[in-house]
Amino acid sequence: MNIGIAQINSVIGDFPGNVKRILAAYRECLDAGADLVVTPELALVGYPPRDLVFKSQFVPQCLQALDYLAGEIREVPLLVGYVDHHHPERTGKPFRNAVAWLENGEIRHRIWKTLLPTYDVFDERRYFEPSESCEPISWKGKRFGVTICEDIWTEDYLQRPLYDRDPVKELLGKGIDLLLNLSASPFHQGKPLVRRAMIGGISRGAQVPVVYCNSVGANDQLIFDGHSLVADAQGRITAQLPGFSACSRVVDPFQPAVQEAKLDTCDTEQLYQALVLGVRDYVVKCGFSTVCLGLSGGIDSALTATIAAAALGPENVYGLTMPSPYSSRGSVDDSFALAKNLGIHCTELPIRNAFESIKSAMQPVFAGKPEDVTEENMQARLRGIMLMALSNKDHHLLLTTGNKSELAVGYCTIYGDMCGGLAVISDLPKVCVYEISRWINREREIIPWNTIDKAPSAELRPDQKDQDSLPPYEILDGILELYVEQQLSAEEIVARGFEEATVRWIQRRVDLNEWKRHQAAPGLRVTAKAFGIGRRMPIAQRFVG
């Protein structure tokens, strides 16, 4: 039996567009000999729709689109994800996360999601009511178990007992020949390998093949990497679709594997591809076609510009290098060298005169007070004004260039270098910024090697270096991973061998700067715990631990 996997990139709320995308993938699978076609979770809607579902016409329009789509499905069945109504006379949430089995112009079956994740970036219990039972679907002499994303993420495979029910076991108890999973599983570093291990474990334990269709594309901060896959009844991965691109493939899950399909990318390449996809989809889905950013000659802005050029084409990227009285000529030269290597636009607009003018204007209230971080922040905010002016005038989306290490401890200026509509690398620790930059230069120099090799500096005062204010990035990032991502206490981190004063300083800086992160541009999530959607900390609080 040939199963078509339609790994598509849906746009949230674009019902006509999503219908076209689904039908195009469906017909591509038909041409390749599919007997049944599977799409990702909520493919008709886009994931996650969040509070759009509460708008009075959202779900009705979704159901109208589903009816239209059903009328177009005549050749072979299609499984498509959508939002369904929950019966209003009953208690519970108003909607269902659902899958429709479309066949011969009709909706033959409706399947509802059983396990509704409400942790990290997920909040499905806010909207959806779970399924009361899991029933197989019989078709052409076989019994299919249809599940939706979280329904297969049970404690047997992740050692986290979040649910009392196990949809896979319920379906196996009723007898199935094939397990199908329609998924919208967001990416973070290492996630594709976790999924492979999980799907292999499920198929091996159940002794039935598994077809796993994952969404691809980016919606706001979440990036969906695709990497749909098929496992045979022995747990071997027999097919793996590409990551970070929409595609379709027809597979026979009952065919024994000649050899196991391999992931064709490393972690570093996956991070880069995820960020490129994240930028492209955010810019395009928000209605922009061009971006601008500040080019400092440093590695963060260089990597951001490189990602933007790959995502949108170099002709659509506009850089400003804005030297201050403390900027080195080398930083300006490195900015122009990067622009030449990438083929992007670059303009030099010094801020010296504007800086002196503001200092002069503030003299009556600053008289007798030495220069300090105030004057440093003035320079960053002047650059923010100029970048926002360019964004407004030419309708570019402004990209911010700060990394996760800086954002964590507040080494950034609110209304200055934090100005912008998308924080491209705000979930990349500084050590990862260096790793990806070196990977980009693996064949030829794209990011100037001088930018990679020189000591990082904000260049806001004479001879300034980042390490004057921060611990070495290797130490900073190691502590941040334990404190932010693993949520360990200071005592537990010190027990791992880190110096206590440094740990306490970083802990205090992370906690004090929560207010800045609440005002930061949305950032693309590529680690297991990003600032933003998956981390909800109060600003006014006094807990220390």
Where in the sequence numbering do the catalytic residues fall? Answer: 41, 113, 149
- CA–CA separation, 434 and 456 (whole Å): 11
Tokens 């599983």 appear where?
Answer: 185
Tokens 């299919």 appear where?
Answer: 144
Question: CA–CA distance from 60 to each of 63, 67, 123, 458 (Å)?
Answer: 5, 11, 22, 52
SS3 82: strand
Alpha helices in 395-542 (DSSP H): 404-409, 430-440, 449-453, 473-480, 490-495, 500-512, 514-518
Question: CA–CA distance from 142 to each of 29, 38, 39, 192, 310 (Å)?
Answer: 20, 16, 20, 29, 45
| C-alpha neighbours within 13 Å on the C-beta side of residue 119 | 9
Under 8 Å between Cβ of 17 and 53:
no
Residue 133: CB atoms within 10 Å = 10
> What stretch of H or E contains 422?
strand 422-423
Six-digit token string for 371: 């220069």
Question: CA–CA distance from 303 to each of 4, 70, 444 (Å)?
Answer: 37, 45, 15
- Which residues, other chains included, contact 342 with Cβ-Cβ below 8 Å and sequence gap of 6+? 305, 306, 309, 314, 317, 446
Query: Would you tell me the crossing angle of helices 191-206 and 167-174 to the nearest 10 degrees?
Result: 30
CA-wise closest residue to 77 among 89, 85, 69: 69
CA 420 to chain centre: 18
